Structure 1
Amino acid sequence: MSGPVLTIELAESVPHAVVQQIRKLLLRSSAQFEEKRFGEYDLSVNAESLGIADTEGTDGHRPIMVSLMGPGVGDEAIFDAEHVDQGDQQHLLGFTPTHAVNVIAFCSSTVDHVVTALLTAAIMDLTGGVANAELAADQVATVSELPGVVAVTLGSWPAAYGSAEFLRAWAEQPGFRLLK
């Protein structure tokens, strides 16, 4: 079963030193760590390392992939494909994304959603950028009022764009759940 995905939109490539900081963060947060390529990691994130009590009767380790994308980093074709339908994001974000970081959970329990949000926020503390989160129609009103929201788009595929502060505030909301 696949789980939620968050994307960090970036205005430029992530400097090598920052990628090393991300790597160290992921190593500290994970019981299992595999570097697939520079900037792409398969993890078994320990929920407690992010301050999350795993009450779902599991071992507390959540399967996650973190992948930097864009020119000179890797997965350029995936980056291009994911951004072709988003049009010009300059008016929403204040920049046109050239790179991104995807944080992908491989399970979809409540804990996986919170781990995905808080791990993404921790990565954003290092990279900056703007989180891109798809929304269900009934989530638009809730997220629009949260701190750190940069923009909310409506229509057939609503989305929220925001800071690490936004992700942390949203994860604290009752019934929090990422769309995908």
Structure 2
Amino acid sequence: MSGPVLVIELAEAVPSAAIQRLREFLVRASARFEEKRVGEYDLNIHAESLGITDTGGIDERRPVMVSLMGPGVGDEAIFEAEHADEVDQQPLIGFTPTHAVDVIALCNRPVDHVVTALLTAAVMDIIGGAANAELRDDQVPIVAGLPGIVAKTTDPWPAVYGTAEFLRAWARQPEFRLLE
């Protein structure tokens, strides 16, 4: 069963030193860590390592994929396909993404939504970027006043570009849920 996904848009390739710091963080925060290629990680993240103490009574080790993509890194075709239907992001976030990181929960429980948001924020603390979070129409007013919003758009669907601070604030909202 697939779960929520967040995308971190990046203005340039991630330096090797930052990829190494990301890898070290993920190893520390995970019960299981598999590096499929440099920048692509299959893990069971400890929810507690992200500050999550209420897992709804299920295993606190949550399966997640973290995948850096773009020219020279890997998954270039996926990067191109994911960005083919995007609006021009330059006026929204100040750059046209050349690379991205997908953070993909492999389960869809409420805790997996929080893990995805907080893990994405932790990854952003290391490599930077702007999180691209698609929204349901009813979520637009909920996120409107949160800190860390870089830009909002409704075309072709409602979405917010935000910082790690935005993701952390949104994850604290009652009934928080990401799109799948």
Partner of residue 51, structure 2:
51
Q: How many residues align?
A: 180
> C-alpha separation between the residues in 1 aligned to 2:88 and 2:133?
17
- Deviation at residue 155 of structure 1 after TM alignment: 4.5
Partner of residue 6, structure 2:
6
- Deviation at residue 178 of structure 1 after TM alignment: 0.4
- Deviation at residue 156 of structure 1 after TM alignment: 5.2
> C-alpha separation between the residues in 2 aligned to 1:120 and 1:83?
19
Matches within 5 A, 1:1-180: 1-155=1-155, 157-180=157-180
Structure 2 residue matching 1:125: 3-state secondary structure: helix
What 5-or-longer segments of structure 1 have no aligned partner? none
- Deviation at residue 154 of structure 1 after TM alignment: 1.4
> C-alpha separation between the residues in 2 aligned to 1:69 and 1:48?
27
Conserved 8 A contact 2:87-2:156? no
Matched letter for residue 35 of structure 2: E
Matched letter for residue 171 of structure 2: A
What 5-or-longer segments of structure 2 have no aligned partner? none
Matched letter for residue 128 of structure 2: G
Conserved 8 A contact 2:47-2:55? no
Structure 2 residue matching 1:3: 3-state secondary structure: coil
> C-alpha separation between the residues in 1 aligned to 2:147 and 2:130?
13
1:120-158 CA-to-partner distances (Å, cap 9, x unmatched) read: 000000111100011000001111211000111114521
Conserved 8 A contact 1:7-1:102? yes
Q: TM-score, normalised by structure 1?
A: 0.97
Matched letter for residue 70 of structure 2: G
> C-alpha separation between the residues in 2 aligned to 1:131 and 1:9?
6
Conserved 8 A contact 2:87-2:155? no
- Deviation at residue 59 of structure 1 after TM alignment: 2.1
RMSD: 0.9
Q: TM-score, normalised by structure 2?
A: 0.97
- Give aligned-pair identity as a percent: 71
> C-alpha separation between the residues in 1 aligned to 2:87 and 2:155?
14
Structure 2 residue matching 1:151: 3-state secondary structure: strand
Conserved 8 A contact 1:140-1:152? no
1:32-79 CA-to-partner distances (Å, cap 9, x unmatched) read: 000000100000011011110143222211000000000000000000
> C-alpha separation between the residues in 1 aligned to 2:13 and 2:167?
22
Matched letter for residue 142 of structure 1: I
> C-alpha separation between the residues in 2 aligned to 1:87 and 1:152?
12
